[in-house]
Amino acid sequence: MKETRVALRYAKSLISLAEERNIIELVKEDMQTVLSVCEESEAFTNMLKSPIVKADRKSAILNEIFSKEVCDLSLAFLNIVVEKRREPILAAIASSFMDLYNESKNIVKATVVTAIAITDTIKTQVLAQLKLVAGDSEVLLEERVDETIIGGFVLRIGGREFNASIANKLQQLKREFVSNPHIK
């Protein structure tokens, strides 16, 4: 919980600076890059969290990785994060920044999980239905494949979830059979 609050404070500071300098889109791309590196590289994340690796070494590694990828403001921000010993929560900071950005631009993030990849036709239909739910907000649809749901789909938008998966239906049947008072 504390980590989330701290990450949110850092993200608010960065978004405020980016808006002040009128480079919000550039910084958003930078934070997406940082977030994707954190998500894709477990070794990178472990290095950030390691108390053995010194702060100056972490800063040098971040500069080496991101100096050609991100703008000066983002690079300076990464160095401040290391200086303040908040690098273990760098992914949370980047994620909080993306959430704040989406909120400021009226973008709603939705996730659809299916057992197999969805076609473009189905994606268009899902987006059309999500537009009805989201109203005037722009919908950013993330697709994920999870074979454990067997079939159907799980749709998450905002804080709501609609689970129409076969695995969920089977779990419901199992609960009904277990709690059936007529069978001894």
DSSP 109-129: EEEEEESSPPPHHHHHHHHHH
pLDDT at residue 2 is higher than 80: no
Q: What range defines the domain where residue 98 resides? A: 2-103
Given this model, what pLDDT does residue 63 score?
A: 95
Same domain, 110 and 92: no
Same domain, 27 and 80: yes
Same domain, 64 and 154: no
Instruction: Please state, rounded to an integer, the average pLDDT across all residues of the chain.
Output: 92
Same domain, 21 and 66: yes
3-state secondary structure of 138: strand
Residue in 92, 72, 87, 81 with CA at minimum distance from that of residue 26: 72
CATH of the domain at 94: 1.10.520.20
> What pLDDT digit, counting tens, does each position of 24-76 carry?
999 999 999 999 999 999 999 999 999 999 999 999 999 999 999 999 999 99
CATH of the domain at 115: 3.30.360
Our count of domains for the chain comes to 2
Please tell me the pTM assigned to this model. Answer: 0.80
pLDDT at residue 1 is higher than 60: no
> Helices (DSSP H) in the chain: which residue ranges?
2-20, 24-40, 42-49, 55-66, 72-83, 90-104, 120-134, 166-178
Q: Report, as an integer, the average pLDDT of 97-124.
A: 93
Count Cα atoms within 13 angstroms, Cβ side, for 61: 16
Same domain, 76 and 118: no
Given this model, what pLDDT does residue 143 score?
A: 94
> What pLDDT digit, counting tens, does each position of 123-182 carry?
999 888 888 888 888 988 999 999 999 999 999 987 889 999 999 999 999 888 888 777
Q: Is the Cβ–Cβ distance between 57 and 99 less than 8 Å?
A: no
- How far from each other are the two terminal CA atoms of the chain, in whole angstroms? 45
